[in-house]
């Protein structure tokens, strides 16, 4: 028995096919498809198709002649193998169905702008993307994570893409892993020890040369933030900020782009690993420290309780961890030098935060504070890299 149901979704003709297609009903299948066919792009959703014979494949071939961009989605493993063995996967786009996973009752071990991370069991975590149409984002993150691993960065590679309700998600093996946020919340007295491991991994990342063109330039992204603020800053502040960012040299060394304690994991109590790789880029270290400043100080600048919701520990510990990380990164106890480095990072961070808050129509008090601090900082330094 075959069932064919048509529906128009965003000017695309999506036809759902259910049941089995064999020699006995292939002509009926072709007739029903013809009745629903039109000039719009055609996608066959075969999530509930149990089997397709050679007779059904010939119908698909005839459809392909009239619809060069024909796509098939949600093919079960068994049906996908039929398409693969017969060469159809080389002729057209055929997407596998995604295994469904439930996160009901699972521990939330991380939250970010793009998604939430749940622990499924002691060995497995799943990152659920907030955007329902996130396949491209997932593929990007998997791609850059593979590049980072090849270049020697300890990171987890997604071994499967699944569905959680209506959202896509990536599965990772994380054996007995805890985030540095969890470790700091549980053992705040050990913050210097965790800062040392944290900085050691950061130096490994920043010491990694990336082949040209493999990752985006964070400097280019940052200049875009500055340009957005042209009509929101005094002319002298804007011009000086733009000049200082433009003077940051292009750098082919890796930076993470969102390097904070929720994205660093300790696995089996001895292996430090980097996760959440979608922001991976190349650039000068000051661009990395700018995002770090935001995580530990910038986001919670008005409401210090916000840091607890974001990282899981209080503002006092966040400040201590930030200062210790900067000290260890630069290997200096010179207070004047470290204060300048933190101020340079603050300028990058505030540039991003002011733009972000304006774009999101944030509250005026927050915009005013970012505006004030950014202007004051820009006028107090002459370079972001000295």
For the stretch 69-88, pLDDT in tens is: 999 999 998 999 999 999 99
Give the gyration radius of the chain's Cα atoms: 26
Token pair listed for 116: 């939430």
Q: How far is CA 36 from the centre of its chain?
A: 38
Composition of the chain by helix, strand, coil, percent to 5: 50, 25, 30
The predicted pLDDT at position 10 comes to 78
Q: Are residues 83 and 60 in the same domain?
A: yes
pLDDT tens digits along 353-366: 999 999 998 899 99
Q: Are residues 153 and 85 in the same domain?
A: no
CB 255 within 8 A of CB 281: yes
Q: In Å, how far are 25, 299, 311 from 276, measured between CA atoms?
A: 48, 19, 15
* Domain presence at residue 226: yes
* Domain presence at residue 70: yes
Token pair listed for 149: 């691993």
Residue with tokens 């939250």: 111
The predicted pLDDT at position 166 comes to 86
Query: Residue 368 pLDDT > 80, yes or no?
Result: yes
Q: Are residues 113 and 128 in the same domain?
A: yes
Strand, helix or coil for residue 76? coil
Report the CATH number at residue 138: 3.30.200.20
pLDDT tens digits along 55-74: 999 999 999 998 899 999 99
Proportion of the chain above pLDDT 90, given as a percent: 75
* Average pLDDT value for the chain: 93
Q: Are residues 185 and 316 in the same domain?
A: yes
Q: Which of 34-38, 103-107, 218-222 has the lowest mean pLDDT?
A: 34-38
Number of domains in the chain: 3
* Domain presence at residue 385: no
Q: Which of 37-41, 161-165, 259-263, 274-278 has the lowest mean pLDDT?
A: 37-41
> Residue 321: in which H helix or E strand, if any?
helix 315-330
CB 172 within 8 A of CB 164: no
Domain end (from 97, 127, 155): 97
Query: Residue 197 pLDDT > 90, yes or no?
Result: yes
Q: Could you give the CA distance from residue 355 to residue 370 in angstroms, rounded to a whole number?
A: 9
Q: Could you give the CA distance from residue 281 to residue 256 in angstroms, rounded to a whole number?
A: 6
Predicted confidence band of residue 374 (pLDDT cuts 50, 70, 90)? very high
Q: Are residues 209 and 328 in the same domain?
A: yes
Residue with tokens 């002691």: 122
Q: Could you give the CA distance from residue 93 to residue 70 in angstroms, rounded to a whole number?
A: 7
Proportion of the chain above pLDDT 70, given as a percent: 100
The predicted pLDDT at position 19 comes to 94
The predicted pLDDT at position 79 comes to 94
Q: Could you give the CA distance from residue 18 to residue 9 in angstroms, rounded to a whole number?
A: 18
Token pair listed for 355: 């733009």
CB 256 within 8 A of CB 274: yes
* Domain presence at residue 102: no
Query: Residue 181 pLDDT > 80, yes or no?
Result: yes
Q: Are residues 315 and 222 in the same domain?
A: yes
Domain that holds residue 230: 177-378
Query: Residue 1 pLDDT > 80, yes or no?
Result: no
Taking the complete model, does pTM exceed 0.75, yes or no? yes
CB 164 within 8 A of CB 102: yes
Tell me the range of 30-34, 188-192, 274-278 where mean pLDDT is highest. 188-192
* Domain presence at residue 384: no
Q: Are residues 69 and 30 in the same domain?
A: yes
Average pLDDT over residues 227-234: 97
Residue 272: which residues within 8 A CB-CB, separation 6 or more? 154, 197, 198, 200, 201, 264, 265, 266
pLDDT tens digits along 90-135: 999 998 888 889 999 998 877 777 888 898 988 888 999 988 888 8
The predicted pLDDT at position 269 comes to 78
As a residue count, the chain comes to 386
Token pair listed for 253: 């060394």
Q: Are residues 18 and 38 in the same domain?
A: yes
Q: Are residues 274 and 306 in the same domain?
A: yes
């Amino acid at each position: 028995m075959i069932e064919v149901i048509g529906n128009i979704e965003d000017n695309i003709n999506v036809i759902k096919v259910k049941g089995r297609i064999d020699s006995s009903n292939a002509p009926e299948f072709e007739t029903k498809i013809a009745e629903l066919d039109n000039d719009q792009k055609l996608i066959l959703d075969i999530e509930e198709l149990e089997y397709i014979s050679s007779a059904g494949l010939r119908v698909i071939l005839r459809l392909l002649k009239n619809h060069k961009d024909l796509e098939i989605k949600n093919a079960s493993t068994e049906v996908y193998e039929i398409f693969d063995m017969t060469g159809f996967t080389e002729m057209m786009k055929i997407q596998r169905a995604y295994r469904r996973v439930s996160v009901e009752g699972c521990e939330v071990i991380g939250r970010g702008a793009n998604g939430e991370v749940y622990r499924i069991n002691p060995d497995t975590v799943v990152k659920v993307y907030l955007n329902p149409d996130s396949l491209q984002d997932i593929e990007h993150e998997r791609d850059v994570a593979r590049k980072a691993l090849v270049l020697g960065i300890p990171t987890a590679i997604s071994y499967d893409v699944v569905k959680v309700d209506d959202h896509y998600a990536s599965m990772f093996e994380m054996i007995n892993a805890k985030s540095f946020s969890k470790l700091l919340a549980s053992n705040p007295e050990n913050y210097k020890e965790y800062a040392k491991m944290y900085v050691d991994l950061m130096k490994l990342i920043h010491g990694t040369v990336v082949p040209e063109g493999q990752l985006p330039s964070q400097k280019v992204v940052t200049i875009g933030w500055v340009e957005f603020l042209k009509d929101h800053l005094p002319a002298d502040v804007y011009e000086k900020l733009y000049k200082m960012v433009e003077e940051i040299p292009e750098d082919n060394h890796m930076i993470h782009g969102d390097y904070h304690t929720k994205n660093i994991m300790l696995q089996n109590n001895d292996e430090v690993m980097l996760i959440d790789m979608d922001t991976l880029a190349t650039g000068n270290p000051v661009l990395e420290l700018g995002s770090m400043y935001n995580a530990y100080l910038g986001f919670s600048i008005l409401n210090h309780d916000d840091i607890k919701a974001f990282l899981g520990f209080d503002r006092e510990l966040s400040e201590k961890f930030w200062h210790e990380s900067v000290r260890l990164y630069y290997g200096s106890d010179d207070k004047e030098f470290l204060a300048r480095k933190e101020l340079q990072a603050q300028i990058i961070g505030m540039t991003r935060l002011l733009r972000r808050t304006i774009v999101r129509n944030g509250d005026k008090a927050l915009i005013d504070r970012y505006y004030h601090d950014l202007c004051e900082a820009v006028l107090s330094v002459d370079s972001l890299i000295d």
